[in-house]
Structure 1
Amino acid sequence: MSETTDAPSEQLLTLARLHGVSPDFWGFDGQRRDVSAATLVSVLGAMGVDATTPERVDVALADADDDQWRQTLPPVVVVRRGTPAEVPVHVEDGAPVHAWLELEDGTRHDVDQLDRYVPPRTVDGRAVGRATVAVPEHLPLGWHTLVARSGETTATCDVVVTPQRLDLPAGLDEHPAWGLMAQLYSVRSTQSWGVGDLADLRDIGWLAGRRAGADFLLINPLHAAEPSVPVTPSPYLPTTRRFVNPLYIRVEDVPETAYLPVAERSLIEWQAEVARPLSTDPGPIDRDTAWAAKKIALEVVHAHPRSAARQAAFEHFRAEQGQGLEDFATWCALTEHYRDRPWPQELHDRSSDAAAQMRTELADRITFHCWLQWVADEQLAAAQRAAKDAGMRLGIMHDLAVGVHPAGADAWAMRDVLAPEVSVGAPPDMYNQQGQDWSQPPWRPDALARAGYRPYRDMLRTVLRHAGAIRIDHVIGLFRLWWIPRGRGAQEGAYVRYDHEALVGILCLEAHRAGAVVIGEDLGTFEPWVRDYLSDRGVLGTSVQWFERDGGGLIPPERYRRLALATVTTHDLPPTAGYLAGEHVDLRDQLGLLTEPVEKVRAAARAERTEMLQLLASRGLVTDDPSEREVVEAMHRLLLTAPSVLLGVSLADAVGERRAQNQPGTDQEYPNWKVPLADSAQNLVLVEDLFDNPRLRSLVAALRR
């Protein structure tokens, strides 16, 4: 099969482009690189397109040309408010068409058929004609339905009207906001069960707003992990992006806990005695022990009767979250049921008769996992209320991961819209010179469109329920993702393009409805127009001080973008104290992640530090021989000169932590996502002491000046 071993044929290149697969890309070094034929064939195969022989490539090209003519209506139409759209309607050649819109509010509007002659086409042996109807520009924001009837055939499609632009909250443009950025699991209190939880989130948010004057608290993704140990530590490799990890629930804050009989209350205390001491353990965070204890306690609480009002509230939540919640809870119950045993093949289809039977057999456990989500939702709502009550303008800023675990709940429930034969990652760049494989199946752009983008919409709605803002990790993934075929290296992938107009538009619509700000993490290699597009839609970018450079070196903060979250660092780097000391180089050298000689990389890091110190000195922000603390504070004071509407301060920087939370490119080689918050002397910093920490108080004072 020459296409899989030699340079791609012209037909294969055409087929790839038709399906949004880029046959080449620009590397971080500015060089254009071609994608191999083998990669193109594998990526197309993950989309259900057989390109393994020249003959099959020709068949696939013909199918792609005819496919839209086989559909009466496209599966979905996404438009901006105030912008008219034309929608093709395919019917028997010469047959009349009547079309109308059913709006979200229940009203009905007829639509006009336009005078657009398109020659008919013979598809699958029948003559197909195309009529064109107009979607009027005055439609309100929302999810509407276009209906087309021709003879005995009736077809529908969603018409999604999105904002031209997501507006900033009142006052934010004139008075920029600052906030803290925290890895919630790492910030524990004496009442935590070994992991920072939603009660800690509530307290940190209130204290940050009331005692520090912060306007937001950005936290790591709270997406759910496995329902049983071992638990994947990475918050960026969840089983689902829609639902919350019940590990973050504070058991004592569930109202029914207060009414438990003595015997059941003792069971709760026994489990707490196992888990609470972990909060003062300076070693790696032990999620497995914490969750094993907390799960038993939550099962005890769940078994206790709820009041009529509380039970009605739970049932309402369950109905509101619908099939998505039921599927997630079913996957959790099945995962518990089979433990380490393989699932029967028929259960891999959530709609199978076998799955229906197991839903009945495991109904109690499914209810338990639905209840966990309700409890977590209540505690998230309480955290957001506390943050706003303390004076925060935005409150909790949630983080949305790029994707999900390949064997997780979303991979099971959304197998129709995900591509399990490939994983998402990134090509080689300056900081990860071997590329990255994140082990996550991507959305299939064609299947997601056929589903009307509803899985994407439902995910956004759940994450935005109690959010003042949302950060989209690797926001470039709404435009394109680096697909790596199974069994290949991270450098052997290809970019697959998505309908960014639809994905960004729906994001803006759902954020508008939630009253939330959207921040896109737009670091890395991508086309320059992407940032302009996001800015035009009202999506803020991300400016990291170390990365803001041009040909002449570091860019002065005065030249940063206005619509951005400006920060000194990011969770993929060591805290600033560690970065200034070159610890990121030492760590990558120890782990064998460098592709250049270590002395060369170390010299570059020293030059980077020197350049930063010179910039700070030129502004009079540091003395001749500044301390580590002085430099960290000076970098944040320098950041205050940026016009950016949001300024983020890492909680690790604020207390003097030096250790990285995550080292990209590693799995077990480094305790990723297990590092508890500590100060510069590696003494744990608990929530109770957080806002009395001298370094934090000094940094906050510098910012507020």
Structure 2
Amino acid sequence: MTTETALDRLAQRLGIGDQYRDGHGRPRRISAESKRTLLSAMGFAAESDTAIAAAIQAVDEVPWRRPLEPVLIAAEGEPLPPVPVVLDADRSGHSLSWTVEEEVGRSHRGAVEPGDLPCEASRRIDGRVLERRSMRLPLSLPAGYHRLRLSGAAEASTVLIVAPPRCYWPPALEGEGRMWGVAIQLYGLRSERNWGIGDFTDLRHLAEALAPLGVGVIGVNPLHALFIENPNRISPYSPASRLFLNVLYIDVEAVPDLDACPAARTAIDRMRESGRFEELRAAALVDYPGVSGAKLPVLEELYRSFRTTHLAEGGTAKGDTNRAAAFHAFQAREGQALETFSLFEALSEHFRRTGSGVHSWRDWPVPYHDPASPEVAAFAAEQRERIEFFQYLQWQADLQLQAVGDRCTQLGMQIGLYRDLALGVDSDGAEFWAQQRLFARGTAIGAPPDLFNTKGQDWGLPPMTPRALRENAYRPLIEVLRANMRHTGALRIDHILGLMRLFWVPHGASPTEGGYVNYPLADMLAVLALESQRSRCLVIGEDLGTVPEGLVDRLHGYGILSYRLLYFEQTGDGDFLLPEAYPPLALVGVTTHDLPTLPGYWRGRDIDLRARLDLFPSDDARRDAQRARDRDRRCLLDALRRQGLLPAGESPEDELDRPPSERLVQAAYRYLARTPSKLLMVTLEDVLGEEEQPNLPGTTDEHPNWRRKLPLGIDELAADPRVRALTATIRDLRPAPRAGQAAGQGAS
């Protein structure tokens, strides 16, 4: 066996693909060097023949060295599938007892003779003869997370996940039901009362303003926790943790402790008198450090007041106080994850102030790199009150987000809040620090070259390894889904292709040197269906890019909406798909946060920006992009005219040679409203004529990503004639469900 053949064999064992296709459909083979880097990231040395042979042996022997796999997946309403059990051949005379403990507390027991079980294979390891036998359990279990335990001939236990056949589906979407809503960036909401950034109260007020116009869902950017100690790290798609919330979205003046806190009220009055709030609100872009500097000191005063009023020494309840009981209930619900996250926040604050943790936890003294170290435990004991402060912040954020979800339900919105789940986390953040063994080192998630990103993409997010996910019985995935489905009627999963495969890019290499790594799609879809049903939360899968064959059908089979954008829905000849050709099981829209707004698309603003920032690989590529855009604009005009949405007699140059008219934007959304697709999302920036997109992929400081505000305040939005005209048209094309059809809001 040659080194290359052995390397390929090891890569295949661990799910690394041999090649990929770029956005033009051209195959690109993954180099041996890239394979070695990806294998190393998974923890397997592959620098020599000997190392590769040892790695192959280790991988092959893993399932033989334990009686049970770490997790088993079964289908609700069906008999449990056969359970593979690995036993010592010389213990086949011992009986094997089993117990299944249901999540709700019921138990089922039985015993079998190992020799009576079918033997599927055998293997000698370390002088022992091992047999893999197949055991059937005479059970059909309800959906949930259960545990199977063995004793006697083998001592072992495993998680048994029983999943429903599909994700939750709101009644309003059954049959021919269709809905629509608006998509916003929460930070960009303007109001006369916020502190320079949209907050949870603004989101509630937006729902109150738009629900009467027929809006059934409001989509928001990821609300994940960012970096309190570094407020300039603002990408919601590179968060510190997806398990918790961005506390800058807290409406400080809505925190109940304000009434009993003179110090906080005085601080607010002083900022109001100095014009600080007006200054932050008037800024064209969100001033994150300014907002943080205004909010956090007041929130500290509110926490101190809460602690003095409601908590006794040691954090226990002081007397009979409902707020203390509610806080302790929140702490209990969030458990160890909240404790570890808040500990990370306290450590970040401490080391940043001492100058040894300016950029990352990797800058901290080495003993603090390990969350389980004695030094970290000592810090946690000494800084109990500070850790509790960060828990208090998460409690307030959660309460205010819950109020948004509850208000959407009261307003009769059929879905209400639609949240966005980022693909991964920043390696400098709390989620990575707490679970370092889950992640691959030396690589980042990205994407191969495509039509919009011709150099490929490196998103800088460390991937979780498929093996680590499975070894942990998918608990990390379960916790992230559960946290983001709370108080929510729908969840958009960014780059849902990651349930099947992720494109890993070696650190320091071009994205073209990356390769795909396969993930356990069937298992992860089962977990997603179970969590979706429990939270009564619709799932939307962002499946843009190079989609593996058959994946969309698998998603649809689970009741997961696909993602269809007007820009990309074209035939091979460049014509735009007719409305009736769109799939029913889809969310449709014109654009997303990573793509140009329709006005920006029409003017080629994104092409100009990419050229100025040297994001094209060549001048020829830039010219090709401009020619393609000119062709697409003409094809879009033709499509809209054929549908009778624009006057047929006008010369195309009337629209091509000027900024996009209001009627062009309205026509594009009416075009999508005619599709059979279940959900239509309107991007408010399109309706308001904004040319700049929220985020330009491939840039950080070169472009003001994640800072742009909407040009109008919430009250002005609802009264704007462009908004009212479009919502009236869509309301006619997609009427709200009849009374009694409304779906339940996400579990709170």
Normalised-by-shorter TM-score class: over 0.9
SS state at 1:9 partner:
helix
Write the distance in 1 (CA, Å) between the matches of 2:127 and 2:592: 58
- Aligned equivalent of 1:34: 29
Give the counterpart letter for 2:463 in structure 1: P
- Aligned equivalent of 1:648: 681
Select 2:190's aligned residue among 184, 188, 191: 188
- Aligned equivalent of 1:48: 43
Select 1:499's aligned residue among 520, 528, 533: 520
Any conservation in 2 of the 1:102–1:145 contact (CA below 8 Å)?
A: yes
SS state at 1:593 partner:
coil
Any conservation in 1 of the 2:195–2:281 contact (CA below 8 Å)?
A: no
Give the counterpart letter for 1:630 in structure 2: R
- Aligned equivalent of 1:579: 601
Q: TM-score, normalised by structure 2?
A: 0.90
Mean Cα deviation higher: 414-423 or 519-528: 414-423
Matches within 5 A, 1:65-464: 65-83=60-78, 84-93=80-89, 94=92, 95-110=94-109, 115-135=117-137, 138-151=140-153, 153-173=154-174, 174-210=176-212, 212-261=213-262, 263-271=263-271, 276-305=277-306, 306-307=309-310, 308-339=321-352, 340-341=355-356, 342-464=363-485
Runs of 4+ in 1 over 4 A off after TM superposition: 111-114, 271-275
Offset of 1:651 from its aligned partner?
Answer: 1.5
Write the distance in 1 (CA, Å) between the matches of 2:8 and 2:601: 43
SS state at 2:120 partner:
coil
SS state at 1:73 partner:
coil
- The alpha-carbon distance between structure 1 residues 18 and 581, as it changes in their structure 2 partners (threshold 3 A), is same
Select 2:510's aligned residue among 473, 478, 489: 489
- The alpha-carbon distance between structure 1 residues 197 and 612, as it changes in their structure 2 partners (threshold 3 A), is same
- Aligned equivalent of 2:11: 16
- Aligned equivalent of 2:728: 701
Q: Determine which structure has greater relative contact order: mean sequence separation of CA pairs < 8 Å that are 6+ residues apart, divided by chain length.
A: 2
Offset of 1:85 from its aligned partner?
Answer: 1.6
Write the distance in 2 (CA, Å) between the matches of 1:644 and 1:533: 17
Gaps of 5+ in 1: 679-684
- The alpha-carbon distance between structure 1 residues 234 and 119, as it changes in their structure 2 partners (threshold 3 A), is closer
Mean Cα deviation higher: 584-593 or 241-250: 584-593
Offset of 1:138 from its aligned partner?
Answer: 2.2
Offset of 1:130 from its aligned partner?
Answer: 2.5
Offset of 1:218 from its aligned partner?
Answer: 0.5
Write the distance in 1 (CA, Å) between the matches of 2:392 and 2:691: 39
Q: Deviations over 1:395-430 (max 9, x none)?
A: 100000011111100110011211232111111111
Write the distance in 1 (CA, Å) between the matches of 2:329 and 2:13: 44
Write the distance in 2 (CA, Å) between the matches of 1:579 and 1:590: 16
Offset of 1:128 from its aligned partner?
Answer: 2.0
- Aligned equivalent of 1:681: none
Select 2:552's aligned residue among 522, 531, 535: 531
- The alpha-carbon distance between structure 1 residues 39 and 121, as it changes in their structure 2 partners (threshold 3 A), is same
SS state at 1:33 partner:
strand
1:638 aligns with 2:642: no
Give the counterpart letter for 1:221 in structure 2: P
Write the distance in 1 (CA, Å) between the matches of 2:697 and 2:408: 32
1:666 aligns with 2:662: no
Mean Cα deviation higher: 558-567 or 105-114: 105-114
1:594 aligns with 2:633: no
Mean Cα deviation higher: 396-405 or 691-700: 691-700
- Aligned equivalent of 1:682: none
Mean Cα deviation higher: 589-598 or 101-110: 589-598
Any conservation in 2 of the 1:143–1:160 contact (CA below 8 Å)?
A: yes
Give the counterpart letter for 2:590 in structure 1: V
Write the distance in 2 (CA, Å) between the matches of 1:369 and 1:703: 43
- Aligned equivalent of 1:619: 643
Write the distance in 2 (CA, Å) between the matches of 1:571 and 1:235: 11
Offset of 1:78 from its aligned partner?
Answer: 1.9
Q: Deviations over 1:114-164 (max 9, x none)?
A: 73213432223322222322255621100000111125x521111111111
1:566 aligns with 2:599: no
SS state at 1:118 partner:
strand
Offset of 1:18 from its aligned partner?
Answer: 0.6
Q: Deviations over 1:664-686 (max 9, x none)?
A: 111111111111112xxxxxx11
Give the counterpart letter for 2:338 in structure 1: L
Q: Deviations over 1:416-455 (max 9, x none)?
A: 2112321111111110011111111111111111111112
Any conservation in 2 of the 1:111–1:136 contact (CA below 8 Å)?
A: no
Write the distance in 1 (CA, Å) between the matches of 2:331 and 2:32: 47
Write the distance in 1 (CA, Å) between the matches of 2:436 and 2:73: 23
- The alpha-carbon distance between structure 1 residues 595 and 264, as it changes in their structure 2 partners (threshold 3 A), is closer
SS state at 2:162 partner:
strand
Offset of 1:271 from its aligned partner?
Answer: 4.5
| Aligned-residue identity in percent | 37
Give the counterpart letter for 1:335 in structure 2: S
Write the distance in 1 (CA, Å) between the matches of 2:279 and 2:72: 51
Write the distance in 2 (CA, Å) between the matches of 1:206 and 1:346: 50
Q: Deviations over 1:75-109 (max 9, x none)?
A: 11122223432221222222432222111111112
Root-mean-square deviation (Å): 1.7
Write the distance in 1 (CA, Å) between the matches of 2:442 and 2:110: 42
Give the counterpart letter for 1:618 in structure 2: R
Write the distance in 2 (CA, Å) between the matches of 1:14 and 1:144: 35
Write the distance in 2 (CA, Å) between the matches of 1:199 and 1:575: 26
Give the counterpart letter for 2:87 in structure 1: V
Write the distance in 1 (CA, Å) between the matches of 2:686 and 2:595: 11
SS state at 1:372 partner:
helix
Write the distance in 2 (CA, Å) between the matches of 1:119 and 1:568: 54
Q: TM-score, normalised by structure 1?
A: 0.95
Any conservation in 1 of the 2:303–2:389 contact (CA below 8 Å)?
A: yes
- The alpha-carbon distance between structure 1 residues 638 and 264, as it changes in their structure 2 partners (threshold 3 A), is closer
Mean Cα deviation higher: 646-655 or 591-600: 591-600
Offset of 1:643 from its aligned partner?
Answer: 0.6
Any conservation in 2 of the 1:187–1:196 contact (CA below 8 Å)?
A: yes
Any conservation in 1 of the 2:96–2:111 contact (CA below 8 Å)?
A: no
- The alpha-carbon distance between structure 1 residues 446 and 226, as it changes in their structure 2 partners (threshold 3 A), is same
SS state at 1:88 partner:
strand
Q: Deviations over 1:281-303 (max 9, x none)?
A: 24221111101210111001111
Write the distance in 1 (CA, Å) between the matches of 2:608 and 2:52: 49
Any conservation in 1 of the 2:280–2:291 contact (CA below 8 Å)?
A: no
Any conservation in 1 of the 2:567–2:590 contact (CA below 8 Å)?
A: yes
- The alpha-carbon distance between structure 1 residues 199 and 641, as it changes in their structure 2 partners (threshold 3 A), is same
- The alpha-carbon distance between structure 1 residues 12 and 111, as it changes in their structure 2 partners (threshold 3 A), is farther
Write the distance in 2 (CA, Å) between the matches of 1:488 and 1:136: 52
Write the distance in 2 (CA, Å) between the matches of 1:377 and 1:135: 42
Write the distance in 1 (CA, Å) between the matches of 2:171 and 2:138: 30
Any conservation in 2 of the 1:177–1:645 contact (CA below 8 Å)?
A: yes
- The alpha-carbon distance between structure 1 residues 177 and 330, as it changes in their structure 2 partners (threshold 3 A), is same
Give the counterpart letter for 1:89 in structure 2: V
